[in-house]
């Protein structure tokens, strides 16, 4: 779908929903490589290099194809071996994580060159500004194209809301980073897992996206009217709700991380107390 001259929206498999993502072609550059391995292979013939928002597998799955055809990959992090990513994103379940992302998404180890936050990347006659968004991962960036098209990466404006299930994730930093995006003078917002939004609709969606942080906190506090352990909270699943049985072990791990981060914040605010292995609302 054409957004502007030389700029095209590429809807990923499954309408861009996880475990895929949407991509963007800007001039001679492809942004993100999780739209489907066959699609990435086709697109690799039409562009000169690949630019990654971050190294999550649903965004970087097909990056190895660009290595294979001798084209450059730009990434915010150059530690891109699958074993390194597994130990970073799901250390206690590294083997399981590698099996899922390689078999389901097609991720392989790849090599990349590093770009810096705030860098302006030239794409034919277009300019891409890299803007760091902390909290989702330590390396995620969004891209402002020609000062008017914002590729929002995993500030994805989905109904699920923000995701911060890795050890390095931080919901407080994530919320602050999203707030900064509202002040950017963009005209069009492109979501990695949703669709294209005009500015006014995107601003409303950004508010809804941010509201999930507080809603999840309230759900956890409600559950803690009676003392519960972290494991009991994960079983209640206040964030995911239903989980895909094929990935349940990984999803439980990620939800446990998210709940744990909320509990740490709530204890710091004096709203929750830990007694032994259980947590209770004050």
Domain count, the chain: 2
Give the pLDDT confidence score for residue 242 in this predicted structure.
87
> Both 150 and 26 in a single domain?
yes
Residue finishing a domain among 211, 240, 265: 211
Give the pLDDT confidence score for residue 158 in this predicted structure.
97
Which residues constitute the domain of residue 234?
213-281
Give the pLDDT confidence score for residue 246 in this predicted structure.
79
Q: Is 243 helix (H, G, I), strand (E, B) or coil?
A: coil
Residue finishing a domain among 190, 211, 232: 211
Give the pLDDT confidence score for residue 243 in this predicted structure.
86
pTM of the model: 0.96
> Both 195 and 265 in a single domain?
no
> Both 142 and 106 in a single domain?
yes
How far apart are alpha carbons 157 and 197 in whole angstroms?
A: 10
CATH number at residue 266: 1.10.10
> Both 27 and 81 in a single domain?
yes
Residue finishing a domain among 150, 183, 211: 211
How far apart are alpha carbons 136 and 275 in whole angstroms?
A: 30
Tell how far CA 208 is from the center of its chain.
17
> Both 198 and 275 in a single domain?
no
The CA-CA-CA angle for residues 56, 61, 63, to 5°, reads 105
pLDDT, block means (10 residues), the chain with 282 residues: 97 96 98 98 97 98 98 97 98 98 97 97 96 97 98 98 98 96 96 97 97 98 98 97 88 98 98 97 98
> Both 173 and 199 in a single domain?
yes
> Both 217 and 202 in a single domain?
no
Contact predicate 37/65, CB 8 Å: yes
């Amino acid at each position: 779908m054409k957004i502007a001259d030389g700029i095209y929206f590429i809807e990923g498999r499954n309408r861009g929903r996880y475990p895929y993502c949407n991509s963007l072609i800007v001039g001679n550059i492809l942004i993100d490589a999780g739209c489907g391995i066959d699609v990435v292979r086709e697109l690799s013939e039409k562009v000169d290099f690949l630019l990654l928002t971050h190294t999550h597998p649903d965004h970087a799955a097909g990056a190895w194809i660009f290595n294979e055809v001798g084209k450059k990959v730009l990434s915010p992090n150059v530690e891109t071996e699958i074993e390194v990513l597994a130990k970073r994103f799901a250390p206690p379940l590294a083997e399981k994580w590698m099996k899922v992302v390689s078999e389901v998404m097609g991720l392989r180890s790849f090599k990349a060159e590093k770009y810096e936050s705030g860098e302006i990347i030239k794409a034919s006659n277009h300019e891409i500004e890299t803007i760091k968004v902390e909290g989702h991962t330590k390396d995620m960036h969004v891209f402002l194209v020609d000062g008017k098209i914002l590729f929002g990466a995993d500030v994805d404006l989905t109904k699920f809301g923000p995701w911060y299930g890795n050890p390095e994730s931080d919901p407080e930093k994530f919320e602050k980073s999203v707030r900064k995006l509202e002040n950017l003078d963009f005209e069009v917002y492109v979501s990695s897992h949703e669709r294209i939004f005009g500015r006014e609709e995107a601003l409303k969606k950004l508010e809804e996206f941010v509201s999930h942080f507080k809603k999840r906190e309230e759900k956890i506090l409600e559950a803690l009217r009676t003392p519960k352990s972290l494991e009991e909270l994960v079983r209640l699943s206040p964030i995911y709700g239903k989980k895909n049985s094929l990935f349940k072990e990984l999803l439980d791990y990620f939800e446990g991380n998210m709940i744990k981060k909320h509990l740490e914040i709530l204890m710091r605010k004096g709203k929750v107390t830990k007694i032994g292995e259980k947590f209770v609302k004050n």
